[in-house]
């Protein structure tokens, strides 16, 4: 029996860097924008590239794993990993936001358990301050992941946008692999990657227009996730290149187009002039992460990080849970610490540590056991694998040449 290759540290490292980039940006920059009283952190990370990098990694491992056995089982394993912890995270975030927001605003609720859990505040004001008090409608909208289809819908947590986009891409990948064998040629897959970069840009900026107020226009762009398809295209291209199925010059051109698309989709109001100070750091950060992902995909493993390997592996394994729980709950914790007199330079590591702890709990108590229960095979015989170069291990295994597929956020 062949000995499985060792787990590559490089994949864990890029995932952890991307997740912490997301957390630092949300805590030090987005948090103070939403709640100005939280603006006393020692520094501010304005660059936005972590979530996009996680989606690139996700696109890469879609190509790596979709070729395993049946696509229905592959897709079900993705759904079983993503959806249960997301639903639990939504319920927790809703309850915390509702109770904490009412306390911060000095508000109360009507009598009875239903009014307390789902009804409006006693004064009927949801935005009395910057702390929104969600109602039952907001809970349903977020549980069903339809926030991107209407501008009036409230995101309980800004990080949740990745879930419907990922599920859409995973479903599309499963459908194409099962129903479109003609698309498996290298040139056709390359054309698909280019289409995922160019067509969303053309639809959003040419067909629809940036400032189109029509509700359907918002739904087309954000409901269908057109503003993020380029990140998955980058993952596809890097996978092709890592296997010698795309030339380096071609990859460089496509990734340059991906960075441009990321810039335009992220800063659509500043197409003419780079007026946003966060624009250049975001573009540079994303470009650096693309280079790092290429190195992780094809270069030698980053053995210089071996002393950190246990910590990186552990953090990468809980990255999805951390991603789900760090933002809005982190804002609430930061406000509580602020009210207790904790300064920003102390509050920052406390909020980061709490996010890691919460992510570990969600992963350990929900993600892994529920995924194992939902995907437990009916027979003990191993499922067939359709590609000899698929070196990824099963979920939670320590072997293999890549991390156990977890999502994007931890997208997988």
Task: Provide mean pLDDT across the span 341-349.
Answer: 96
Pairwise pLDDT comparison (7 vs 296), residue with the higher score: 296
* Domain-embedded: residue 411: no
Q: Is residue 283 over pLDDT 50?
A: yes
pLDDT category of residue 294 using cuts at 50, 70 and 90: very high
pLDDT, one tens digit per residue, over 354-385 is 999 999 999 999 999 999 999 987 664 444 43
Round to whole Å and give the CA distance between 301 and 309: 11
pLDDT for 268 equals 82
Q: Classify residue 387: in a domain, yes or no.
A: no
How far apart are alpha carbons 206 and 224 in whole angstroms? 17
Radius of gyration of the chain from its Cα atoms, rounded to whole angstroms:
22
Model pLDDT, residue 177: 80
Task: Give me the residues paired with residue 410 across strands.
Answer: 408
What is the DSSP secondary-structure string of 189-248? HHHHHHHHHHHHHHIIIIII-TT---HHHHIIIIITTGGGHHHHHHHHHHHHHHTTSS-H
d(CA 325, CA 84) in angstroms, rounded, equals 14
Predicted confidence (pLDDT) at residue 190 exceeds the cutoff of 50: yes
* Structural domain contains residue 393: no
**Separation of alpha carbons 244 and 143, rounded Å:** 41
Output the CA torsion 134→136→141→143 (10° steps).
100
User: Which pLDDT score is estimated for 62?
Assistant: 92
Domains of the chain: total: 1
Measure the CA–CA gap between 359 and 353, rounded to whole angstroms. 10
Confidence label for 238 from pLDDT (cuts 50, 70 and 90) = very high
Give the pLDDT confidence score for residue 127 in this predicted structure.
87
C-alpha to C-alpha distance for 279 and 18, rounded to whole angstroms: 17
pLDDT digits over 104-138, tens only?
A: 999 999 889 999 999 999 988 888 889 999 999 99
Burial of 92 per CB tally in 10 Å (0-12, 13-18, 19+): middle
Domain interval for residue 273: 9-374
- Name the CA dihedral angle for 144, 320, 318, 74, rounded to a multiple of 10 degrees: 80
Is the model's pLDDT at 78 over the cut of 50?
A: yes
- Any domain includes 395: no
The pLDDT assigned to 391 comes to 30
- pLDDT for the residue numbered 100: 96
* Residue 134, domain member (yes or no): yes
Percent of the chain scoring above 70 in pLDDT: 87
Angle at 159 between CA 157 and CA 163, to 5 degrees: 110
Q: In the predicted model, what is the mean pLDDT of residues 254-279?
A: 81
What average pLDDT does this structure show over 248-256? 96
Is 303 domain-assigned? yes
pLDDT value at 412 more than 50: no
Entry field: residues in the chain: 412
State if pTM tops 0.85: yes
Q: Does a structural domain hold residue 391?
A: no
Torsions phi, psi for 121 (to 5 deg): -65, 165
**How far from each other are the two terminal CA atoms of the chain, in whole angstroms?**
28
- Predicted confidence at residue 379, as pLDDT, reads 60
In a domain, residue 294? The reply is: yes
Res. 278 pLDDT band, cuts 50 70 90 = confident
The confidence score (pLDDT) of residue 69 equals 67
The answer to whether the beta carbons of residues 215 and 151 sit under 8 Å apart is yes
* Contact criterion met (CB below 8 Å) for 411 and 55: yes
């Amino acid at each position: 029996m062949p000995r499985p290759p060792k787990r590559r540290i490089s994949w864990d490292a890029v995932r952890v860097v991307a997740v912490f980039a997301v957390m630092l940006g949300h805590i030090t920059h987005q948090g103070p924008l939403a709640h100005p009283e939280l603006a006393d952190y020692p520094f501010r990370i304005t660059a936005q590239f972590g979530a996009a990098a996680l989606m690139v990694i996700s696109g890469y491992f879609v190509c790596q794993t979709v070729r395993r056995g049946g696509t229905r089982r592959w897709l079900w394993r993705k759904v079983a990993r993503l959806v249960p912890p997301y639903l639990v995270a939504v319920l927790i975030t809703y309850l915390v936001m509702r109770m904490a927001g009412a306390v911060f605003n000095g508000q109360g609720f009507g009598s009875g358990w239903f009014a307390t859990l789902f009804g409006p505040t006693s004064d009927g004001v949801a935005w009395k301050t910057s702390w929104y008090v969600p109602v039952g409608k907001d809970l349903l909208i977020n549980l069903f992941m339809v926030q991107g289809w209407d501008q009036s819908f409230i995101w309980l947590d800004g990080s949740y946008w990745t879930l419907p986009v990922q599920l859409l891409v995973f479903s599309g990948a499963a459908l194409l692999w099962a129903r479109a064998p003609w698309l498996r040629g290298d040139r056709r897959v390359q054309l698909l990657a280019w289409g995922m970069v160019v067509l969303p840009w053309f639809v959003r900026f040419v067909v629809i227009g940036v400032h189109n107020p029509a509700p359907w226009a918002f739904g087309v762009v954000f409901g269908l996730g057109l503003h993020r398809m380029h990140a998955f295209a980058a993952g596809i291209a890097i996978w092709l290149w890592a296997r010698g199925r795309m030339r380096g010059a071609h990859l460089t051109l496509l990734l340059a187009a991906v960075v441009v698309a990321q810039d335009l989709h992220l800063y659509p109001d500043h197409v003419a002039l780079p007026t946003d100070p966060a624009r250049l750091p975001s573009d540079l950060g994303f470009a650096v992460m693309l280079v790092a992902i290429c190195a992780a995909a094809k270069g030698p493993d980053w053995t210089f990080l071996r002393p950190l390997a246990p910590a990186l592996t552990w953090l990468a394994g809980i990255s999805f849970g951390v991603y789900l729980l760090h933002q809005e709950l982190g804002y609430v914790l930061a406000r509580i610490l602020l009210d207790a007199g904790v300064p920003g330079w102390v509050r920052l590591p406390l909020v980061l540590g709490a996010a890691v702890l919460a992510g570990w709990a969600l992963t350990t108590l929900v993600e892994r056991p529920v995924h194992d229960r939902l995907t437990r095979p009916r027979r003990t015989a191993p499922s067939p694998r359709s590609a000899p170069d698929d070196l990824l291990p099963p979920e939670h295994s320590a072997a293999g040449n890549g991390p156990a597929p977890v999502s994007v956020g931890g997208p997988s």
